[in-house]
Amino acid sequence: MSIDTFTDSGEKRARRGLSSLIRQQAEQSLAFASLVLIFLFFAFTNAAFYSWSNITGILLSTAVTGMLAIGTTFVIITGGIDLSIGTGTTLAAVVTAKMLTSLHLSVGTGILVGIAFGALFGALNGILITFLKLPPFIATLAMMLIAKGLALVISDVRPVYTDSVSGWSEIALGELIPNLPNAVLILALAAVIASIVLNRTIIGRYTFAIGSNEEATKLSGVNVKKWLILIYTIGGIFVGLAGILLTSRLSSAQPALGSGYELEAIAAVIIGGTSLLGGKGSILGTVIGALIMAVLINGLRIMEIQQEWQTVVVGVVIVLAVYTDSLRRRRAGLN
């Protein structure tokens, strides 16, 4: 046997390539299979669960955190984290609602204001992380507090009602497709666009590159600071969108609502198979993760399980999801 020291035999390598492909697929099908199983479980145990109005209810309830989860998937793939998305949503909601009502903006301008504010908010996170070199955890924790406080200050600790703005509640609750709230449609559309951005564009490419190895990416001549700011800005745009959906759905901006959303969103991302270490993840996985959480909470509620216990179940699901993920990784590492 000739000794080819440069490589293992091609055959062995090909097998490894194939198995890694299967593993990649398996990871998403695993999450998807869990979703289907949970769904079927509730559908069979409770008739009320399996109705169109309940299903659209589930989808509607996941619109806001689902939106946040999609945006923060980008950030988490870079190996970062964004804790400010929850109260950021509150602040975006309050700012948008204030501008809408006090300046009598049109619905379209209101949407633009919300998105622009979110983008600015995200960019600020990015600047703190890249130029001030704060760890993402710290920078966004600080921003979380700042947003929380500002939302209370700007709103004067009172809900800002948007009833006066005609058409504003149509954004989330209107039905362009009969029997399907627009919020669900917007979420689906946002997911498709995010997925295309992540998988097909240069910024998506750099998102994975930075998460895989920031230093190597930098040494490859990539302006990592610039791209990181842009990536956090993307996360912020989704915060803005979430704020718009929230105010539209409630016809008001509630200055105390939003805190805690960040953890739900991050949980959805993790359940969907995106690695907190960075370099790996998908929008489809995040959407599945968000749906798993929403279905679970809804199903438990219909089964009349106390809300306190619902929260416990979600916690357990996160442990299970991350544990199976690390098991799979460890097995892969041994090969």
- List contacts with another protein (CB under 8 A): 3-8, 10, 12-17, 20-21, 200-206, 208-209, 212-213, 215-223, 279-280, 334-335
Say what the alpha-carbon torsion angle 182, 180, 66, 197 is, to the nearest 10 degrees. Answer: -70
CB of 9 to another protein, least distance (A): 10
Residue 62 or 282: the one with the smaller Cβ distance to another protein is 282
Query: How far, in Å, CA of 232 to CA of 77, rounded?
Result: 11
Query: How far, in Å, CA of 332 to CA of 335, rounded?
Result: 6
Residue 210 or 257: the one with the smaller Cβ distance to another protein is 210
Residue 18 or 177: the one with the smaller Cβ distance to another protein is 18
Type of residue numbered 288: I
CB of 312 to another protein, least distance (A): 34
CB of 25 to another protein, least distance (A): 13
Rg of the chain, C-alpha, whole Å: 21
Residue 10 or 108: the one with the smaller Cβ distance to another protein is 10
> CB neighbours of 253 closer than 8 A, spacing ≥ 6?
90, 93, 94, 96, 97, 98, 155, 159, 160, 162, 243, 246, 247
CB of 71 to another protein, least distance (A): 18
> CB neighbours of 104 closer than 8 A, spacing ≥ 6?
none
Query: How far, in Å, CA of 143 to CA of 139, rounded?
Result: 6
Residue 160 or 194: the one with the smaller Cβ distance to another protein is 194
Q: Which two tokens stand for residue 182?
A: 């627009």
CB of 80 to another protein, least distance (A): 16
CB of 277 to another protein, least distance (A): 9
CB of 223 to another protein, least distance (A): 5
Long-range contacts of 107-114 (CB under 8 A, 24+ apart): 107/165, 107/167, 107/168, 107/170, 107/171, 110/165, 110/168, 110/244, 111/171, 111/244, 114/240, 114/241, 114/243, 114/244
Residue 196 or 320: the one with the smaller Cβ distance to another protein is 196
Neighbours of 30 (CB within 10 A): 17
Residue 16 or 104: the one with the smaller Cβ distance to another protein is 16
Q: Which two tokens stand for residue 79?
A: 């190996």
* Contact (CB, 8 A) for 45 and 38: no
Looking only at the bridges linking them, the beta strands covering 252-253 and 160-161 are: antiparallel
Residue 264 or 325: the one with the smaller Cβ distance to another protein is 325
Residue 168 or 208: the one with the smaller Cβ distance to another protein is 208
